[in-house]
Structure 1
Amino acid sequence: MNGSTSGSVTQHIGPVRTCIGCRTRTLPSELLRVVAVDGSVVPDLHRRLPGRGAWLHFDLECLRNAERRRAFPRALRVQGALDVALLREHLEQHGKSTGGQPPGRQGTRKQVDPS
């Protein structure tokens, strides 16, 4: 063989994370990192909080799916139930106003000079 591999060719595009609500794999820039702090699930907006994190789309439906599946304690490796009130409040404020896009991503279109 001349060093080629059989099968499809995949292009490396960087790290990929899985939403714990819908189980879709996507880029971290499209997801919100959450961590457990004192029995609550809190959004990690700057992705710098210590501890194990989990990833979730900016979508209330993904939050509902994660709650229904009891995914937060499992993904964050925490015993017992976790309170998601802070996370729900954050998603209600930011998820709807940006159409499900991460904060700061809604106005990223390039302007084209009409001349």
Structure 2
Amino acid sequence: MDPVRTCLGCRRRAPASSLVRFVGRDGRVVPDASGAMTGRGAWVHPTVECVESSLRRRAFGRALRENGVLDTSGLQQYVLSLNQSVSPDEAPR
């Protein structure tokens, strides 16, 4: 059974396999594609809407328990690249 996590953007619970995990490293939020990086993780649906919502709410700092400002500049581009690598036939509905 797949663990269930909550998306930072939409606050809906979903299987961890359908979300992208991000971790804090050196003041930046970076994707954990392998799921093997140590530390606290922040989970988000791989959609621009959920990433934008989590950024607007400043949820990454709280979820990762990081003090100060985190560099989140690459998050939207990362999610866009994920969505472009999926063909329309494979896209979730």
Q: Which is higher, the Rg of structure 1 or of structure 2? A: 1
1 CA distance for matches of 2:48 and 2:19? Answer: 12
User: SS of the counterpart of 1:41?
Assistant: strand
Q: CA deviation at 1:92?
A: 1.4
Work out which structure has the larger RCO, using CA pairs closer than 8 Å and 6 or more positions apart in sequence: 2
Q: CA deviation at 1:91?
A: 0.7
Conservation of the 8 A alpha-carbon contact between 2:52 and 2:76? no
Q: Corresponding residue for 2:46?
A: 58
Q: Corresponding residue for 1:44?
A: 32
Poorly superposed stretches of 4+, deviation over 6 Å:
none
Q: Which one of 8, 15, 18 corresponds to residue 6 of structure 2? A: 18
Q: Which runs of 5+ in 2 are unaligned?
A: none
1 CA distance for matches of 2:49 and 2:84? Answer: 12
Bigger shift: 23-32 or 83-92?
83-92
Deviations 1:13-44 (A, max 9, x none): 54210000110100011000000111111110
Q: Which one of 12, 19, 23 corresponds to residue 31 of structure 1? A: 19
1 CA distance for matches of 2:74 and 2:38? Answer: 18
* Structure number with higher helix proportion: 2
1 CA distance for matches of 2:55 and 2:2? Answer: 28
Q: Which runs of 5+ in 1 are unaligned?
A: 1-12, 100-105, 108-115
1 CA distance for matches of 2:60 and 2:83? Answer: 19
Q: How many residues align?
A: 89
User: SS of the counterpart of 1:91?
Assistant: helix
2 CA distance for matches of 1:77 and 1:69? Answer: 15
Conservation of the 8 A alpha-carbon contact between 1:33 and 1:55? yes
% identical equivalent positions: 46
